[in-house]
Homo-oligomer: A and B are copies of this chain.
Amino acid sequence: MNAVTPVVLGMLSLGPRSGYDIKRVVDHSTRFFWAASYGQIYPELRRLEQEGLIEGEDAPNGGRSRRVYELTKSGRDALRDWLLSSRFNVELRDESLLQLFFADSLAREEALRLLEDRKTAHEQLLEVLHEIENMPGGKDPDFVDLVLRWGIEFNEWGAEWCERHLQRLRGETKAA
């Protein structure tokens, strides 16, 4: 069990898919909080098949080779085990936050500009997520939708947070 395992099993729980399919779906959904590359996915598919958690079947499109996988009973069990095991492993790498941390060495207006830039970045991400939200296709399952809402509401909160502290810090500067 490594970092790609749950994404692969999870994506297959939504229906049979090829490695290529999995990558494509990941890039439109979980990549914001859980990325996966071909270099991980393809070896993992073979490993999982060997261990009997998934089953592959050749399903070529004409002369274009293609292998589609689906979960086996043990695969479904493994996914369920992972889902029910408490994990709150969060890793964050936020360069803008690091800049703010060291911003005291800048002039006040320069430092505040960093906060403005951060706000803009939140707003831009919000646009990307709204596009995903408005993509054609049937309604997403409840929890898929919930996670998309997290992304949207987090970025709304983030932009708001920047604005709030921008005003506070500008006020303090004037008062002083």
Contact = CB atoms under 8 A, between A and B. Distances in A.
A88 B33 contact: no
Interface string A82-100: 1110111111111111111
Dominant secondary structure at the A interface = helix
B118 A10 contact: no
A7 interface: yes
A121 B34 CA distance: 19
B34 A93 contact: yes
A102 B87 contact: no
Interface stretch (A43-51, A60-68, A103-111, A128-136): A103-111
Contact count band on A = 35 or more
A10 B98 contact: yes
Given A80-B106, A105-B13, A143-B111, A88 B98 contact: no
Interface string A135-170: 000000111101101100110010001000100010
Interface of A: 6-7, 10, 13, 29-30, 32-34, 76, 79-80, 82-84, 86-106, 110-111, 114, 117-118, 121, 141-144, 146-147, 149-150, 153-154, 157, 161, 165, 169, 172
6 contacts: A6-B95, A6-B102, A33-B97, A101-B144, A102-B143, A149-B165
